[in-house]
Structure 1
Amino acid sequence: MSRREADVIIVGAGLSGLIAARTVLQAGLTPLVLEADERVGGRILTEDALPGVPVELGAQWIGDTHERMFALAAELGVETFPQYDEGETSYDLVGSGVLRENDFHARFGSELAELEKVLRLLDELAAEVPPEAPWLAPRAAAWDSITAGAWYDGQGLSPVARTLLEICTVGILAVPTVEVSLLHLLFTIQTCGVTSELFAESEGGAQTVRFVGGTGEIPKRLAALFTDHIVLNAPVLLIEHGTDRVTVHCRGGLVAEGRRVIVAISPTLAGRIMYDPPLPGVRDQLTQRLPNASAMKAFFIYDEPFWRADGLNGQLISDVGPARMSNDTCIPGDDHGVLLLFLEGEQARTFGRLPEEERRAAMTAELVRHFGERAARPEFYIDGEWSDRQWTRGCYNANCGPLVWTTFGHALAEPIGVIHWASTDTAIRWSAYMEGAVEAGERAAHAVIAELAG
Structure 2
Amino acid sequence: MSESNHHDVDVAIVGAGLSGLFAAHQLLRAGMNPLVIEANDRVGGRILTEHVDGVPVELGAQWIGDTHHRMFALATELGVDTFRQFDDGEATYEIAGSGVLRETAFHERFAAELTGVDRALRLLDDMSAQVPLDAPWDAPRAHEWDAITAAQWLTDQRLAPVAERVLEICTVGILAVPMAEVSLLDMLYNLRTCGVGAELFAESEGGAQTTRFVGGSSQIPDRLAARLDGHIVLDSPVTLIEQNADAVTVHCRGGRAVHARHVIVAIAPTLAGRIMYDPPLPGVRDQLTQRMPQASAMKVFFTYDEPFWRADGLAGQLISDVGPGRMSNDTSPDDASYGQLLVFLEGEHARTYGRWPTADRKAAITDLLVRHFGSRAADFISYVDGEWAQRPWTRGCYNANMGPMVWTHFGAALTPPIGRIHWAATETATHWSAYMEGALDAAQRAVDEVLS
Q: CA deviation at 1:336?
A: 1.2
For residues 43-62 of structure 1, what are the structure 2 equivalents within 5 Å? 43-51=46-54, 53-62=55-64
Alignment partners' CA distance in 2, 1:118 and 1:196: 9
For residues 190-269 of structure 1, what are the structure 2 equivalents within 5 Å? 190-199=192-201, 205-269=207-271
Alignment partners' CA distance in 1, 2:206 and 2:354: 32
Q: Does 1:41 align with 2:44?
A: yes
Alignment partners' CA distance in 1, 2:59 and 2:199: 23
Letter in 2 for 1:368: V
Q: In structure 1, what is the equivalent of residue 299 of structure 2?
A: 297
Q: In structure 1, what is the equivalent of residue 321 of structure 2?
A: 319
For the Cα contact (< 8 Å) 2:59–2:299, is it kept in 1? yes
For the Cα contact (< 8 Å) 1:199–1:205, is it kept in 2? no
For the Cα contact (< 8 Å) 1:202–1:208, is it kept in 2? no
Letter in 1 for 2:74: L
Alignment partners' CA distance in 2, 1:199 and 1:218: 27
Q: In structure 1, what is the equivalent of residue 18 of structure 2?
A: 15
Give SS of 1:58's match. coil
Per mean C-alpha deviation after superposition, the further-off stretch among 141-150 and 187-196 is 187-196
Q: CA deviation at 1:231?
A: 0.4
Q: CA deviation at 1:264?
A: 0.1
Q: CA deviation at 1:204?
A: 5.1
Q: In structure 2, what is the equivalent of residue 64 of structure 1?
A: 66
Q: CA deviation at 1:351?
A: 0.6
Q: In structure 2, what is the equivalent of residue 24 of structure 1?
A: 27
Letter in 1 for 2:338: H
Q: In structure 2, what is the equivalent of residue 107 of structure 1?
A: 109
One of 166, 180, 183 as aligned partner of 2:182: 180
Q: Does 1:6 align with 2:9?
A: yes
Q: CA deviation at 1:202?
A: 6.0
What is the aligned-residue identity percentage?
67
Alignment partners' CA distance in 1, 2:325 and 2:431: 28
Letter in 1 for 2:32: L
RMSD: 1.1
Q: In structure 1, what is the equivalent of residue 366 of structure 2?
A: 364
Q: In structure 1, what is the equivalent of residue 275 of structure 2?
A: 273
Deviation string, structure 1 residues 235-279 (Cα, Å, up to 9, x no partner): 101111111210111111111000100000000000000111111
In the TM superposition, structure 1's runs of 4+ consecutive aligned residues that sit over 4 Å from their partners are 200-204
Q: CA deviation at 1:444?
A: 0.1
Q: In structure 1, what is the equivalent of residue 120 of structure 2?
A: 118
Give SS of 1:36's match. coil
For the Cα contact (< 8 Å) 1:200–1:206, is it kept in 2? no
Alignment partners' CA distance in 1, 2:145 and 2:204: 30
Alignment partners' CA distance in 1, 2:301 and 2:448: 39
Q: Mind listing any 5+ residue stretches in structure 1 that lack a counterpart? A: none
Q: CA deviation at 1:23?
A: 1.2
For the Cα contact (< 8 Å) 2:191–2:198, is it kept in 1? no
Q: In structure 2, what is the equivalent of residue 407 of structure 1?
A: 409
Alignment partners' CA distance in 2, 1:412 and 1:180: 17
Alignment partners' CA distance in 1, 2:183 and 2:252: 36
Q: Does 1:283 align with 2:285?
A: yes
Report the count of equivalent residues.
449
Q: CA deviation at 1:383?
A: 0.1
Q: Does 1:169 align with 2:171?
A: yes
Q: CA deviation at 1:200?
A: 5.2
Q: CA deviation at 1:205?
A: 1.6
Q: In structure 2, what is the equivalent of residue 77 of structure 1?
A: 79
Alignment partners' CA distance in 1, 2:336 and 2:183: 43
Alignment partners' CA distance in 2, 1:212 and 1:395: 23
Alignment partners' CA distance in 1, 2:178 and 2:338: 34
Q: CA deviation at 1:294?
A: 0.3
Alignment partners' CA distance in 2, 1:201 and 1:49: 30
Alignment partners' CA distance in 2, 1:270 and 1:321: 34
For the Cα contact (< 8 Å) 2:11–2:34, is it kept in 1? yes
Alignment partners' CA distance in 1, 2:331 and 2:238: 36
Alignment partners' CA distance in 2, 1:203 and 1:16: 23
Deviation string, structure 1 residues 334-365 (Cα, Å, up to 9, x no partner): 52110000000000000111110111111011
For the Cα contact (< 8 Å) 2:124–2:198, is it kept in 1? no
Q: CA deviation at 1:50?
A: 2.5
Q: In structure 1, what is the equivalent of residue 155 of structure 2?
A: 153
Q: Mind listing any 5+ residue stretches in structure 2 that lack a counterpart? A: none
One of 326, 334, 340 as aligned partner of 2:342: 340
For the Cα contact (< 8 Å) 1:64–1:204, is it kept in 2? no
Q: In structure 2, what is the equivalent of residue 423 of structure 1?
A: 425
Q: TM-score, normalised by structure 2?
A: 0.98
